[in-house]
């Protein structure tokens, strides 16, 4: 398990850079290499304008390929205004947890990534949210997108 905050941040930054390149290029092989077979991605209105969960590497990659190009997500980086990357155990699995930020064509967003420490080049769950979504309430974002649904 990585111990120093700098080492944790380096591992997360490297993964985010690889993710951004793979997402931007639509490269199936590169995207697939970033996820474990049992990965999850929860979108909280940032990509789909819905609350959606995709489970399993193939489903995660398919959803990212479906929604990624239209959103033009860029600028994935650790959000240094938030909790620093840290070692955690989630569902009995040691991981590096980090809060990151990025931008889409619709606005600024944030997310949480958990890199499984045995595979610091891959991760299991991810969650991202439009920055206007906080604490269960949706702020006005000035976007022309339809209001997010909670189904």
Q: What domain range is 31 assigned to?
A: 5-132
In a domain, 142, yes or no: no
Contact between residue 79 and residue 103 where contact means Cβ atoms under 8 Å apart: no
In a domain, 138, yes or no: no
Confidence of residue 90 (pLDDT cuts 50, 70, 90): confident
Number of structural domains the chain divides into: 1
In a domain, 147, yes or no: no
What pLDDT is stored for residue 144 in this prediction?
A: 32
Helices 5-25 and 57-71, interaxial angle, to 10°? 70
Per-residue pLDDT reduced to its tens digit, 99-135:
999 998 888 999 999 888 765 555 544 444 443 332 3
Q: How many CB atoms lie within 10 A of CB 13?
A: 16
Collapsed DSSP state (helix, strand, coil) of residue 29: helix
What pLDDT is stored for residue 132 in this prediction?
A: 31
In a domain, 15, yes or no: yes
Contact between residue 46 and residue 104 where contact means Cβ atoms under 8 Å apart: yes
In a domain, 105, yes or no: yes
Residue 21 belongs to a domain with what CATH number?
3.10.450.50
Write down the pTM of the prediction: 0.76
Element (H, E) at 114: strand 107-116
Pairwise CA distance, residues 25 & 14, whole Å: 17
């Amino acid at each position: 398990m990585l111990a120093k905050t700098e080492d944790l941040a380096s591992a997360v930054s490297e993964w985010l850079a690889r993710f951004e390149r793979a997402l931007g290029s639509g490269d199936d092989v590169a995207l697939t290499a970033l996820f474990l077979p049992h990965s999850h991605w929860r979108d909280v209105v940032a990509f789909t304008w819905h609350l959606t969960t995709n489970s399993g590497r193939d489903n995660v990659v398919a959803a990212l390929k479906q929604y990624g190009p239209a959103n033009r997500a860029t600028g994935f980086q650790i959000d240094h205004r938030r909790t620093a990357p840290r070692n955690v155990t989630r569902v009995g699995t040691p991981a590096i947890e980090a809060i990151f930020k990025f931008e889409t064509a619709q606005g600024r967003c944030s997310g949480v990534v958990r890199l499984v420490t045995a595979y610091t080049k891959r991760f299991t769950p991810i969650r991202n949210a439009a920055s206007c979504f906080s604490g269960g309430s949706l702020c006005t974002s000035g976007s022309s997108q339809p209001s997010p649904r909670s189904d």
